[in-house]
């Protein structure tokens, strides 16, 4: 049994008390960026640190929200590295174009430059963005310098790439077919809702009731079991235990 495989039978590792890669001083600051769902928002407290918030999410097996929070807490470069390493764990199930995009994402994370970013954008454009390698490359393509005024979209691609990699482990049907297929309209092959890259939310009309979907406990537990090795990888990057490159 490989080290990665053994993680699936181990309990989730504890969230480190300090995450040096995070810049948000409090969990509330992090939540402003990650926009957690109602159930995750209910776990927030005024003086809570990001690691404490992540630990609370882990206790409730809210893997989707942990991935989203980690992706928004990390700088773009670390996030793309996490997305690329996650995709690499399921690379044997990915088609050639997605593998090419994965290589381009790794190259940008190792050496972010205009040239590697352009290569990542070109590689992502050759896919239909339904594979984790393509999403990692798109995350690199979307990265913009801090203070540029551009909307920060990389965490959305990172979130989708990591969740999709975990979903491929739990539900192999989510892997893109390896055989060449005729191009389809994007709407013909949508990602499952929890895995679709999330665009900035549209404000609800004043007074409109919040709508939330509750997953059956067995499905949530199965998802979290597949997700937590990927989350552990993200925590290693956010804590500085796993260096860039």
CB atoms within 10 A of CB 31: 22
Write down the residue that tokens 């809570």 correspond to.
Answer: 48
What's the confidence (pLDDT) of residue 245?
Answer: 72
Point out the least confidently predicted range of 117-121, 143-147, 239-243: 143-147
pLDDT the model gives residue 12: 81
What's the average model confidence in pLDDT over 204-208? 42
Q: What is the pLDDT of residue 205?
A: 39
Could you read off the pLDDT of 70-94 as tens digits, one per residue? 999 999 999 999 999 999 999 999 9
pLDDT in tens, 125-165: 999 999 999 999 999 999 998 778 899 999 999 999 999 99
The average confidence (pLDDT) of the chain is 84
Predicted pLDDT at 174: 67
Which residues have a Cβ under 8 Å from the Cβ of 198 and sit 6 or more positions away?
Answer: 35, 68, 156, 159, 160
Contact 90, 167 (CB under 8 A): no
Q: Would you state the pLDDT for residue 155?
A: 98
The more confident residue out of 10 and 127 is 127
84 in helix, strand or coil? helix
Alpha helices in the chain (DSSP H): 3-7, 27-34, 38-41, 50-59, 63-73, 76-89, 96-110, 114-125, 132-142, 154-170, 217-238
| Distance (Å, whole) CA 201 – CA 208 | 14
Distant-in-sequence, close-in-space partners of 18: CB < 8 Å, separation ≥ 6: 51, 239
**What's the average model confidence in pLDDT over 85-108?**
97
Rg (CA), the chain: 17
Q: How large is the average pLDDT for residues 155-184?
A: 77
Distance CA 141, CA 139 (A): 5
Q: Are 98 and 133 in contact (CB under 8 A)?
A: yes
Cβ–Cβ under 8 Å, residues 101 and 136: yes
How do the domains of the chain map onto residue ranges?
A: 16-144+151-175+225-245
What per-residue confidence (pLDDT) applies to 186? Answer: 38
């Amino acid at each position: 049994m490989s080290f990665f495989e053994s993680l699936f039978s181990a309990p989730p590792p504890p969230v480190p008390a300090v995450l040096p890669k995070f810049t948000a001083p409090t969990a509330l600051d992090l939540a402003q960026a990650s926009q957690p769902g109602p159930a995750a928002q209910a776990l927030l407290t005024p003086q809570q640190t990001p690691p404490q918030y992540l630990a609370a999410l882990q206790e409730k097996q809210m893997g989707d929200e942990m991935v989203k929070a980690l992706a928004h807490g990390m700088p773009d470069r670390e996030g793309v590295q996490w997305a690329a390493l996650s995709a690499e764990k399921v690379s044997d199930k990915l088609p050639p174009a997605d593998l090419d995009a994965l290589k381009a994402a790794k190259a940008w994370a190792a050496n972010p430059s205009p040239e590697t970013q352009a290569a990542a954008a070109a590689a992502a454009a050759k896919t239909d963005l339904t594979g984790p390698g393509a999403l990692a490359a798109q995350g690199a393509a979307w990265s913009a310098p801090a203070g540029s005024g551009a909307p920060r979209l990389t965490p959305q691609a990172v979130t989708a790439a990591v969740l999709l990699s975990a979903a491929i482990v739990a539900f192999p049907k989510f892997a893109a077919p390896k055989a060449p297929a005729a191009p389809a309209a994007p709407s013909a092959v949508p990602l499952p809702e929890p895995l679709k890259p999330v665009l900035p939310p549209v404000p609800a009309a004043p007074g409109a009731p919040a709508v939330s979907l509750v997953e059956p406990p067995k499905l949530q537990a199965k998802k979290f079991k597949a997700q937590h090795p990927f989350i552990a990888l993200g925590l290693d990057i956010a804590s500085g235990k796993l260096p860039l490159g």
